[in-house]
C-alpha cells in the first residue's frame, strides 16, 4: 500500500468548544470507541491520537481538549494542548453546532484560526437536531467569518455525511507513506483507555452531583488465563464527593463498575475482574505532581513552552 505514489497520509486535529461532539465524531470515523463522551463539557483531557487507514490514504486524528477559558492548571494544560496543535497538523476540523449565533468562545477560536496557515474545514455537527433546509443559513453565517477550505454538515451521532467529510480531508493531505501499520487504531496505552472508560461511566452516572474534579488511576492490570484483573482508583477532590461516588451501601461504585466492565471486556477481548476504590486528593487539578501522575504532562501547562 505504501508503494502507491498516489497514497496520502497526514495529521488532522479536531477542535471546537467543549461538548460540540469531537470525540463522538472521531469514534464514528474510526469505527471504534477510543475517546470517552459525556454530556458534560471538557470530557477529553489529553490529546488522543487515532488512526483511520483506507485504500487511498491514512488519516491520523488528534482529538484535543475543547478550547475554553482556563480556571486552573489542568484547564491551562487542556487549552494549551488544543491551541498548540493547530500549527502541527495538515488539516484542522473545526466543529460547531448548527446555529446563527457566534458566541465569545467561537470568536476566540476564529482569532486563533486566523493566525495559522493550515487548511481549515468547518464541520457543522448535530444536523440530526435540525431540518435539512435549516443548515444553509448556518453555513452562510460562518462563511462570512473565515475563509474555509470546505464546509461540511454532519451528524457525528448518526454518521450522516461522514464519508463526504473523509473525502474532503484526503484532498488536503500530502502524498506519502502511512505512518502506522494498517491494523493500528490508536497510540493510547491500554491502561489509559481503560481509565478513561471508567471515568466516562462515573461522569454519566454522577450527572450534576460532582463537578469535573475526578480522575481515574489504574493501580494494577494483570492478564492471566482468560481473564484480566484490574484495580482502579477513582480520585476526587473532596471528602463529600467520596461519599457520593461510593453511594449508599456502595451502590454507585458498583454501578460504575458494572457499566464500565462490558466495554473494557470488548476492548481487551477477555473477561475482566474489575475492583474499584475511591480516594480523596485535594486540589489535584492544581498539583503538577498529581497531574503528571494521572497522565497530563505539566510541561505543557507553561503557555510559553
Structure-block grid coordinates of residue 47: 490529546
Domain locations along the chain: 8-171, 190-301
Of 148-157, 240-249, 269-278, 294-303, least confident by mean pLDDT is: 294-303
Q: Which CATH superfamily is domain 8-171 in?
A: P-loop containing nucleotide triphosphate hydrolases (3.40.50.300)
Question: What CATH number was assigned to the domain covering residues 190-301?
Answer: 3.30.300.20
Residue 259: pLDDT band with limits 50, 70, 90: very high
285 vs 296: which has the higher pLDDT: 285
Q: What percent of the chain has pLDDT over 90?
A: 30
| pLDDT exceeds cutoff 60 at 48 | no
Residue 288: pLDDT band with limits 50, 70, 90: low
Is residue 166 packed enough to be buried (19+ CB in 10 Å), middle (13-18) or exposed (0-12)? middle
pLDDT number for residue 145: 92
Say if residues 73 and 288 touch (Cβ distance below 8 Å): yes
Residue 43: pLDDT band with limits 50, 70, 90: very low
pLDDT number for residue 123: 96
pLDDT number for residue 164: 95
Of 50-54, 66-70, 116-120, least confident by mean pLDDT is: 66-70
3-state secondary structure string across 99-165 = CCCCCHHHHHHHHHHHCCCCCEEEEECCHHHCCHHHHHHHHHHHHCCCCCCEEEECECCCCECHHHH
Q: Length of the chain, please? A: 305
User: pLDDT digit string (tens) for 194-228?
Assistant: 888 888 888 888 876 665 567 888 888 787 778 88
User: pLDDT digit string (tens) for 65-101?
Assistant: 555 555 556 556 555 666 677 878 899 999 999 988 8
Taking residues 53-72, report their average pLDDT. 72
Q: What is the DSSP letter of 249?
A: G
Q: What is the mean pLDDT of the chain?
A: 79
178 vs 68: which has the higher pLDDT: 178
Q: What is the DSSP letter of 186?
A: B
Say if residues 109 and 17 touch (Cβ distance below 8 Å): yes
19 vs 109: which has the higher pLDDT: 109
Helix, strand, coil percentages (3-state) for the chain, rounded to 5, are: 40, 25, 40
Residue 150: pLDDT band with limits 50, 70, 90: very high
Amino acid at each position: 500500500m505504501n508503494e502507491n505514489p498516489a497514497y496520502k497520509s497526514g495529521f488532522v486535529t479536531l477542535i471546537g468548544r467543549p461538548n460540540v461532539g469531537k470525540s463522538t465524531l472521531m469514534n464514528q470515523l474510526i469505527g471504534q470507541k477510543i475517546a470517552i463522551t459525556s454530556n458534560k463539557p471538557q470530557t477529553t483531557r489529553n490529546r488522543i491520537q487515532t488512526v483511520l487507514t483506507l485504500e487511498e490514504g491514512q488519516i491520523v486524528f488528534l482529538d484535543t481538549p475543547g478550547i475554553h477559558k482556563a480556571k486552573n492548571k489542568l484547564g491551562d494544560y487542556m487549552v494549551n494542548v488544543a491551541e498548540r496543535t493547530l500549527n502541527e497538523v495538515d488539516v484542522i476540523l473545526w466543529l460547531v453546532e448548527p446555529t446563527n449565533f457566534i458566541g465569545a468562545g467561537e470568536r476566540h477560536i476564529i482569532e486563533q484560526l486566523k493566525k495559522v496557515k493550515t487548511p481549515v474545514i468547518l464541520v457543522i455537527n448535530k444536523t440530526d437536531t435540525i431540518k435539512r433546509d435549516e443548515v444553509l443559513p448556518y453555513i452562510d453565517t460562518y462563511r462570512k467569518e473565515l475563509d474555509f477550505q470546505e464546509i461540511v454538515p454532519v451528524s457525528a451521532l448518526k454518521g450522516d455525511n461522514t464519508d463526504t467529510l473523509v473525502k474532503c480531508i484526503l484532498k488536503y493531505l500530502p502524498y506519502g507513506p502511512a505512518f502506522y501499520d494498517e491494523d493500528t487504531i490508536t497510540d493510547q496505552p491500554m491502561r489509559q483507555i481503560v481509565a478513561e472508560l471508567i471515568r466516562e461511566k462515573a461522569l454519566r452516572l454522577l450527572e450534576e452531583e460532582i463537578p469535573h474534579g475526578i480522575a481515574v488511576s489504574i493501580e494494577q492490570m494483570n492478564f492471566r488465563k482468560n481473564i484480566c484483573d484490574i484495580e482502579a482508583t477513582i480520585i476526587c477532590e473532596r471528602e463529600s464527593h467520596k461519599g457520593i461516588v461510593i453511594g449508599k451501601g456502595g451502590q454507585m461504585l458498583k454501578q460504575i463498575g458494572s457499566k464500565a466492565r462490558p466495554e473494557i471486556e470488548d476492548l481487551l477481548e477477555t473477561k475482566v475482574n474489575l475492583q474499584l476504590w475511591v480516594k480523596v486528593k485535594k486540589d489535584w487539578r492544581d498539583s503538577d505532581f498529581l497531574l503528571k501522575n494521572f497522565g497530563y504532562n505539566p510541561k505543557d501547562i507553561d503557555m510559553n513552552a
